[in-house]
Amino acid sequence: MSEQQADESVAVTSKGASVRGLRVETPQGTPIVEALDLDIAPGRILGLVGESGSGKTTVGLAMLGHARRGMQISGGGVWLDGTNLFGLSHREL
């Protein structure tokens, strides 16, 4: 199977991942990440690049539903194949 055929078969069964309006803030309401939107197509890899302290780890953790100490996820969601992961229980995950 060629790489293109493999990509097409993945596309049929998967919608990929989407992040919409992701917001992370301090308890006082200071935004750390504000209104992040991104899409990751099936079979693709996305690199998050930035200077030290720019928020790469904060974004990565928030996409997994975790907030760094002293921060909270206050908006948005992460969808995988059309399902909002933030709306699922630990058991459903």
For 10-52, the pLDDT digits (tens) are 444 578 999 999 999 999 999 999 999 999 999 999 999 999 9
Termini Cα distance of the chain: 31
For 3, list phi and psi in degrees, rounded to 5.
-60, -40
Q: What percent of the chain has pLDDT over 90?
A: 74
The helix (H) or strand (E) run that includes residue 9 is helix 3-13
Return the pLDDT at 11: 43
